[in-house]
A and B are shown apart, each in its own frame.
Chain A
Amino acid sequence: MNWFENGGALSLIVFLPLAAALVMLVIPKAREEAIKQLALLVSVVTFALSLVVAFAFELGSSASYQFEISAPWISAIGSNYHIGVDGISLPLLVLSTFVLVLSIIYSWNHWEEPRNPKAFLALMLILATGMNGTFVALDLVLFFIFFEVVLLPMYFMIGIWGDKSMRKIPGFAREIPTRLYASLKFFLFTLFGSAFMLLGFLAIYFRAGDVAQRTFDIPELATLGAAGAFSPAAWSIGGLVFGALFLGFAVKVPMWPFHTWLPDAHTAAPTVGSVLLAAILLKLGSYGFVRIALPILPESARDWAPAIAILSVIGIIYGSLACLAQTDMKRLIAFSSVGHMGFVMLGISTLTDVGINAAIIGMVAHGLITGLLFFLAGSMHHRYHTREMSRLGGNQTLMPKMGGILGFTAMASLGLPGLAGFWGEFMALLGAFNPLEGLNVSLFRTAMVIGAIGTVLTAGYLLWMLQKVNFGEPSEEWVGHEFHDVDRFEMAAWVPLMILIVIIGVYPKLVLGSTTDAVVAMVDTAFNSGPTAALTVFGG
């Protein structure tokens, strides 16, 4: 199985969905079952492959890249087809293939108008190629390509299957369909960020040395970065370059104040689109920080860390307060992502192993939990034909199973100890208590306190949502309606998520066991600091 370990496995995980999407194009539209089965089969195969990779992964050397391959690609600029996984990207890769399977299962009997499963599934598979590719790419150009590949499918998903309602946009005379506004906003915001990200990549490339030494290779650049090649002291535009990367990643995360595309896109997207957006697409941004921005530009990261921390806590508080102002359940969940990703970014901004581990487990947990919340919001909208929380009251009586799962997920989302959401928030705050040496301790401790207030607000709005949606008496308008409680496809998609939320909640080592060594090594080389004592508490 030599080819398998030398890039074969990862290449399959990345390109199998794309190949399936192409095959799908030649299957006639009428053969819907065949199309769905093909999509499911391919997603299960990629998930199985990612599990094989995870089990064959040598945890002992999780800091180094495994299943790696590097082959020449664009010779003129020395860009290579370089892919591989380490302990940081492995959990995210598995998450990505896992959520894809569940999304396809959920899609089985949930089609939003104008249906067309063929096109929808083909887009979903292309999206999968972009997502998986981003997590394994070890070359900046390759990373950029995969990072961008996700845009088109998501744009079409939101634009075609998205929210049909009309909406008045300030500054426009006519009402326009929400889906059009949301899809274009998503596309333009992300492209704006990534255009500058690309400029940053190019600046790094040219700074790497003479013509022969220039490279887009992420591990090589990280080595150079640790040696100080890109430090602002030696390179006047170093801080600016970090700013360019920051723009690209922060829009994607999204960090306050670049978040405004998120509530629109998430709310307008079809259910599966929202799930994939929340569970995977947002992680591309935070992953970019951990994989590229921090290790390659460590000195600039130090300079920028306080700003990132401040924006993160603003995001946490702003996201929570915005949630409290929502009347639309899906929009509330969308805003909750701003808050949760704020914790992820706060963890990253501490530049410590605890904080970055917190960020990764936070990403995984947020992917599972918020993905599930969006599934639930979609299914409830499917049944009630409304997302107004004031009309949804008494859901628990009308649909006990649905209500139960919603309650469970809301508890996970507010960070209840014992469920997955707890670790990300807790460790991020812990990291902020003791940021990297040289950073402004009082600033980070203030951020920690504000973040802790944020957790209270988070609990507040989620309980408030539960109270409005689940509890109380059903509204008069539902009298005489028969509601079909959770069906088997929904169960098949949701139960695995719930199980994982519990497992990670009680056994965080499932994620941390893979990430810790890699993160410690990364922080160690980039910032020259040994592992923090606190980390051992979590089994690191």
Chain B
Amino acid sequence: MNYDIDYLALAPEIVVIITLLGVLALDLVLPRRLKYFTGAIAVVGLTLSAIPLILLAVGDLPVSMFDGSYVVDQFALVLKGLFLVSGYVVLVMSVSYIESDRYYQGEYYFLILSSILGSLVMASARDLIAIFIGLELTTAPLFLLAGWKKGDLKSNEAALKYFVLGVLSTAILLWGMSMLYGATGSIQFAEISAAVSSLRSGDPMMPLVVLAVVFVMVGFGFKVAAVPFHFWAPDTYEGSPIPVTAYLSVGSKAAGFVGMFVFVYLAVPSLSSVWGPLIWVMAALSMTVANLAALRQTNIVRLLAYSSIAQAGFMLVPFAAASLAGEGALAAGLEATVVYLVIYALMNLGAFAVVIVAVQRTGSAEIDSWAGLGRLDGRLAVLASVFFFSLAGIPPLAGWYAKFKMFTATIAAGGTWAYVLAAVAAVNAVIALAYYAKVAKAMWFDDPPEGAEEITEAPSGSLVLVLTIAAVVTVVVGVLPNIPDFFGEATRTLLATVGG
């Protein structure tokens, strides 16, 4: 047994822990008018935690600790970077939002940071217990955050639904994990993989293992809100404070994806005939059901909720196609999904930042209330168009490359099922455009309400920062897709052990 600890490798997590404890302690002693200070500390702490990440990236990799249960490789680093950046953006968005109403501030930042910490753990977790702790640490604070608007019934509903279904999915996940442990006698992915691949088809343990895998996949399906395990998502998204919704749709969703990848690729790669079709079905259903539902939404946040379910479906497409094609194609599938995830995080956060500004302006999240925004506030409308058309995948905005990468990996995998899924995705890309264009239509084609005046005041500085960065990166990445490719390429290290 090797229990040496590489503190540099753990430094991002350690910095986040110190920050979140600091925020909690400071919240106790600060007078009410200085509470906003906790937000600043959280932002600074998260920024500092990026420094060891960069040091690690240029240093020797991979670092394996605790007998291989906790690994820091390029895959983990890229995703930790994604979690930190999206967490950072969410924090910056939160500052003005949380201040604007009478929310508890210190606790808010403490909980967001805890959730980010959980996702950092997820990226490195390589055994059942670590991954479970990471996933729960990511999710549990969000049960509370979803209900942060105490006086708002919808927010209460959001929290309750999320809590009940979240706990249910946790139970299913844990049940699956315990069966897997029972069948293989190990919690470590490498050992589970070895034990599972040595099982013969007629082995009496086989049905148990298959059932365990199905249970775990269902658990993750809840976390990434894939159809048919998505029912909590629209209501929770609508009721939560908008920065929390942004985090739910990006940070915690990405964490769920990471858990799914690590589990299927490292623990049960040989059972791709079990989880492959499962993912295929989830992908096809998520895209189709969510896109059709999104067409009928009149509330922008609900629209984005369904859109994020549909986008999760798109992300699962290369994953599904690759898993059906066998182990050789897994790496390309993983890379495509990660590239999609990175680009999606960027544009979706931008879209939510726009929603925050627009809701502050109009006091409503109904799409109709955006009518004539192009004439009232041209700049905001341009930014909104950039993000929404990027989500739709229209070149030359970043979203096109995400879709392109998805199609590339799917066609590369080959086979009838992959082609069918690609065709389903292509049709869905068109359906998706219809509702993203609906938002553009409201902003540009509809007349502003009577008596509305041109808006000249700028939104708060932190939001302007988020919007500008996200928009610039969305355009630059769309023109120079080598940038996300670089990160996608790096994540292939995850599969070094399974020969992808």
Chain A residues closer than 8 Å to B414, beta-carbon distance: 206
Secondary structure of the A contact surface, majority rule: helix
Q: Could you tell me the distance between the alpha carbons of A77 and B414 in the complex, rounded to whole angstroms? A: 17
B445 adjacent to A151 (CB under 8 Å): no
A159 adjacent to B445 (CB under 8 Å): yes
B407 adjacent to A149 (CB under 8 Å): no
Quick one: which of A77, A191, A206 has the most chain B CB within 10 A? Answer: A191
Partner of A75, one of B394, B412, B482: B482
Chain B residues closer than 8 Å to A74, beta-carbon distance: 481-482, 485
Q: Confirm or deny: B434 has a beta carbon within 8 angstroms of a beta carbon on chain A.
A: yes
Q: Confirm or deny: B400 has a beta carbon within 8 angstroms of a beta carbon on chain A.
A: yes
Chain A 192-204 interface mask (CB, 8 Å, partner B; 1/0): 1001101100110
B430 adjacent to A76 (CB under 8 Å): no
Listed by A's residue number, 5 A-B pairs whose Cβ atoms lie within 8 Å are: A198-B404, A199-B422, A199-B423, A203-B411, A205-B411
Partner of B441, one of A77, A148, A159: A159
Q: Confirm or deny: B110 has a beta carbon within 8 angstroms of a beta carbon on chain A.
A: no
Q: Could you tell me the distance between the alpha carbons of A460 and B290 in the complex, rounded to whole angstroms? A: 50
A195 adjacent to B426 (CB under 8 Å): yes
Q: Confirm or deny: A246 has a beta carbon within 8 angstroms of a beta carbon on chain B.
A: no
Chain A residues closer than 8 Å to B396, beta-carbon distance: 145, 149
Near A by CB (< 8 A), chain B positions 445-482 give 445, 481-482
Chain A residues closer than 8 Å to B423, beta-carbon distance: 196, 199
Chain B residues closer than 8 Å to A206, beta-carbon distance: 411-412, 414
Q: Confirm or deny: B429 has a beta carbon within 8 angstroms of a beta carbon on chain A.
A: yes
A156 adjacent to B444 (CB under 8 Å): yes
Partner of A191, one of B375, B404, B419, B430: B430
B408 adjacent to A195 (CB under 8 Å): no
Q: Confirm or deny: B28 has a beta carbon within 8 angstroms of a beta carbon on chain A.
A: no
Q: Could you tell me the distance between the alpha carbons of A156 and B378 in the complex, rounded to whole angstroms? A: 14
| B491 CB → nearest A CB, Å | 13
Q: Could you tell me the distance between the alpha carbons of A196 and B488 in the complex, rounded to whole angstroms? A: 25
| B306 CB → nearest A CB, Å | 18
Near A by CB (< 8 A), chain B positions 418-451 give 419, 422-423, 426-427, 429-430, 433-434, 437, 440-441, 444-445
B394 adjacent to A199 (CB under 8 Å): no
Q: Confirm or deny: B207 has a beta carbon within 8 angstroms of a beta carbon on chain A.
A: no
A148 adjacent to B394 (CB under 8 Å): yes
Q: Confirm or deny: A258 has a beta carbon within 8 angstroms of a beta carbon on chain B.
A: no
B489 adjacent to A155 (CB under 8 Å): no
Q: Confirm or deny: A94 has a beta carbon within 8 angstroms of a beta carbon on chain B.
A: no
| A366 CB → nearest B CB, Å | 27
A148 adjacent to B400 (CB under 8 Å): yes
| B390 CB → nearest A CB, Å | 11
| A185 CB → nearest B CB, Å | 10
Chain A residues closer than 8 Å to B404, beta-carbon distance: 141, 198
Q: Could you tell me the distance between the alpha carbons of A202 and B440 in the complex, rounded to whole angstroms? A: 30
Q: Could you tell me the distance between the alpha carbons of A73 and B347 in the complex, rounded to whole angstroms? A: 22
Residues of B within 8 A of A (CB): 375, 389, 394-396, 400, 404, 407-408, 411-412, 414, 419, 422-423, 426-427, 429-430, 433-434, 437, 440-441, 444-445, 481-482, 485, 488-489
Q: How many residues of A contact B (CB 8 A)?
A: 35
B394 adjacent to A152 (CB under 8 Å): yes
Q: Could you tell me the distance between the alpha carbons of A20 and B411 in the complex, rounded to whole angstroms? A: 38
CB-nearest residue of chain A relative to B428? Answer: A195
B441 adjacent to A184 (CB under 8 Å): yes
Q: Confirm or deny: A180 has a beta carbon within 8 angstroms of a beta carbon on chain B.
A: yes
Chain A residues closer than 8 Å to B407, beta-carbon distance: 198-199, 202
Chain A residues closer than 8 Å to B481, beta-carbon distance: 74, 76
* Contacts beyond the supplied A76-B485, A160-B444: 7 A-B pairs with Cβ under 8 Å: A159-B445, A179-B445, A184-B434, A195-B426, A199-B423, A199-B426, A206-B414
Q: Confirm or deny: A408 has a beta carbon within 8 angstroms of a beta carbon on chain B.
A: no
Chain A 142-181 interface mask (CB, 8 Å, partner B; 1/0): 0011001101100110011000000000000000010110
Q: Could you tell me the distance between the alpha carbons of A192 and B434 in the complex, rounded to whole angstroms? A: 11
Chain B residues closer than 8 Å to A114, beta-carbon distance: 375
Q: Could you tell me the distance between the alpha carbons of A195 and B392 in the complex, rounded to whole angstroms? A: 12
Q: Could you tell me the distance between the alpha carbons of A149 and B396 in the complex, rounded to whole angstroms? A: 7
| A151 CB → nearest B CB, Å | 7
Q: Confirm or deny: A357 has a beta carbon within 8 angstroms of a beta carbon on chain B.
A: no
Q: Could you tell me the distance between the alpha carbons of A148 and B433 in the complex, rounded to whole angstroms? A: 13
Chain A residues closer than 8 Å to B400, beta-carbon distance: 145, 148
Partner of B427, one of A145, A177, A195, A202: A195
Q: Could you tell me the distance between the alpha carbons of A160 and B373 in the complex, rounded to whole angstroms? A: 13
Q: Confirm or deny: A187 has a beta carbon within 8 angstroms of a beta carbon on chain B.
A: yes
B426 adjacent to A152 (CB under 8 Å): no
Chain B residues closer than 8 Å to A152, beta-carbon distance: 389, 394
CB-nearest residue of chain B relative to A76? Answer: B485
Q: Confirm or deny: A188 has a beta carbon within 8 angstroms of a beta carbon on chain B.
A: yes
| A92 CB → nearest B CB, Å | 21
Partner of B408, one of A159, A187, A202: A202
| A112 CB → nearest B CB, Å | 14
Chain B residues closer than 8 Å to A202, beta-carbon distance: 407-408, 411-412
CB-nearest residue of chain A relative to B392? Answer: A191
CB-nearest residue of chain B relative to A202? Answer: B411
| A493 CB → nearest B CB, Å | 27
Quick one: which of B375, B395, B412, B488 has the most chain A CB within 10 A? Answer: B395
Chain A residues closer than 8 Å to B445, beta-carbon distance: 159-160, 177, 179-180, 183
Given A159-B444, A159-B445, CB of A188 within 8 Å of CB of B433: yes
Given A195-B427, A196-B426, CB of A187 within 8 Å of CB of B437: yes
Partner of A188, one of B419, B434, B440: B434
| A128 CB → nearest B CB, Å | 15
Q: Could you tell me the distance between the alpha carbons of A74 and B479 in the complex, rounded to whole angstroms? A: 9
Near B by CB (< 8 A), chain A positions 200-226 give 202-203, 205-206
A191 adjacent to B408 (CB under 8 Å): no
| A116 CB → nearest B CB, Å | 9
Chain A residues closer than 8 Å to B375, beta-carbon distance: 114
Quick one: which of A155, A160, A177 has the most chain B CB within 10 A? Answer: A155
Q: Could you tell me the distance between the alpha carbons of A199 and B426 in the complex, rounded to whole angstroms? A: 8
Q: Could you tell me the distance between the alpha carbons of A144 and B408 in the complex, rounded to whole angstroms? A: 14
